[in-house]
Amino acid sequence: MKLNIRNMLLPALLAASVVVNLFSVTALVYLKVPGVHRAFLPYYKTIKNAVFGSHSYSNSTSTRKRSPQMPYKPELRLSIINQLSLSDDFDIQDWKNQVLSTLRNLIGLSDIIAPFSITKSEAEVNNKYVLQRMTMPSPLGYDNIVLYKLMPSRLPSDHAKPAVVLVIPGSGMKSVNGLLGRTVDYHRSAGIKLVTHGYAVYVVESFAVGERAFDVGSLLDEGVNSPHAVGMYGIYSGEYLAKIFIADLLSVIEFIKTEDDVNGDMLVTFGVSRGGFLSLLVAALSQDVKGAVIASGLVDPDRYIFNNFKQPIIPQEGRYFLRSDIAGTIAPRPILLSYGTNRSLSRGDLAEYPGNIEEAQTSRTVNRVKYIYKLFNAGGSVSVSIHEGGHTWPEKDTFEFLRSVVGY
């Protein structure tokens, strides 16, 4: 049987032409349309791993993540771990004052209160709560703080005014949307669930994110979004994100205290991930905070820390203290520390991010906080929730904690 090479070659050439054209169009879209390359990235990684295998660029055959080995270590001048051989004249309150004073200086925080020229949008009412969007000038004058107030439709019979939960978003460009139930992510509609339990909820849009994002021009084509750009520029200009984040939140607390329809004297901060760390910082720096929920937001960076905002939340923190030290200064006020251990959850699931890989390191951090609280004779004020939900907040334990703090 004689093979017809021409008849076999023609379909092969046509097929190759189609593949080349598809590749060219895809590459053109990938390079020219803003944001498309980031959308393709997860699929690219999946295909690459399926075809070529997943490679670890290390000498170890273990799949466990390893911390980078840095050439120097943090000094931790004020850390409680360097005070373990406490002398008889050691004063835990003096130590707390030193840590908080140093923290304020590192952040560059002064007593800034925003002018309360509040702009309120029309309220959205349903049978469970009332939602109202507000704006107020930021204390540093860069933009307007965007604030969502959720008021419960019904209160417990023995409470004339609802207690307040100040809810702080974690990182991610979805910002408040996951908290307000507009999208599914690791926040798990926390703002909605809190208000339906009878709390007045204030959700603060993060600086440089969501409605407060800035135009970064063509940097977006290179994968640099608004918080990344502002973070890097802040290192250059000397205006750190920590100062802006904390100044905004402290100003919101001052505003809440002027609200007549809520119990501003009974205020708890709440946050997941970066929001959890900010919840911790605000509670440490403001005596108006009666308790703090810190979900997947506290781990001591014993060896190395990477922040996806392209700058440290607190500049030079490792020179003076660990994050567990800052958490300890909240004592004797109650806190809830939580983290998830389920590593199987991934993007697309409710938890959005994988579970805490450094579980042992997180456990050490929690134990350090407990130790400091015991020095304040307040060991019973630390609640710990270890759950299998991944990078999110534990609902049942959170509501039990809130009930113990505010009374319902």
What's the confidence (pLDDT) of residue 307?
A: 61
What's the confidence (pLDDT) of residue 73?
A: 82
Regarding predicted confidence, which is higher, 21 or 30? 21
- Is the pLDDT at 170 greater than 50? The verdict is yes
Residues 55, 59, 61: CA angle, nearest 5 degrees? 65
pLDDT tens, position by position, 41-65: 444 444 434 433 443 333 444 445 5
pLDDT tens, position by position, 192-203: 999 999 999 999
- Is the pLDDT at 305 greater than 50? The verdict is yes
Q: What is the mean pLDDT of residues 207-216?
A: 92
Which of the given ranges, 16-20, 206-210, 225-229, 367-371, has the highest pLDDT on average? 367-371
What's the confidence (pLDDT) of residue 345?
A: 47
Instruction: Specify the fold of 105-406.
Output: Rossmann fold (3.40.50)
Distance, in Å, from the CA atom of 293 to the CA atom of 394, rounded to the nearest integer, reads: 10
Which of the given ranges, 3-7, 34-38, 280-284, 316-320, has the highest pLDDT on average? 280-284
pLDDT tens, position by position, 368-408: 999 999 999 999 999 999 988 888 999 999 999 999 999 99
Side-chain half-sphere CA neighbours of 151 within 13 A: 15
What's the confidence (pLDDT) of residue 53?
A: 42
Q: What is the mean pLDDT of residues 167-179?
A: 91
What's the confidence (pLDDT) of residue 304?
A: 57
Regarding predicted confidence, which is higher, 67 or 225? 225
pLDDT tens, position by position, 231-286: 888 888 888 888 999 999 999 999 999 999 999 999 999 999 999 999 999 999 99
What's the confidence (pLDDT) of residue 366?
A: 95
What's the confidence (pLDDT) of residue 346?
A: 39
Regarding predicted confidence, which is higher, 177 or 347? 177
pLDDT tens, position by position, 314-359: 888 999 999 999 999 999 999 999 998 865 443 333 333 343 445 6
Q: Which two tokens stand for residue 396?
A: 């049942």
Domain boundaries, the chain: 105-406
Residue 286, phi then psi, degrees to nearest 5:
-125, 120
What's the confidence (pLDDT) of residue 358?
A: 52
pLDDT tens, position by position, 134-156: 999 999 889 999 999 999 998 87
pLDDT tens, position by position, 286-300: 999 999 999 999 988
Which of the given ranges, 40-49, 95-104, 302-311, has the highest pLDDT on average? 95-104
What's the confidence (pLDDT) of residue 67?
A: 63
What's the confidence (pLDDT) of residue 309?
A: 57
What's the confidence (pLDDT) of residue 352?
A: 35
At residue 66 the predicted structure's pLDDT band, cuts being 50, 70 and 90, is: low
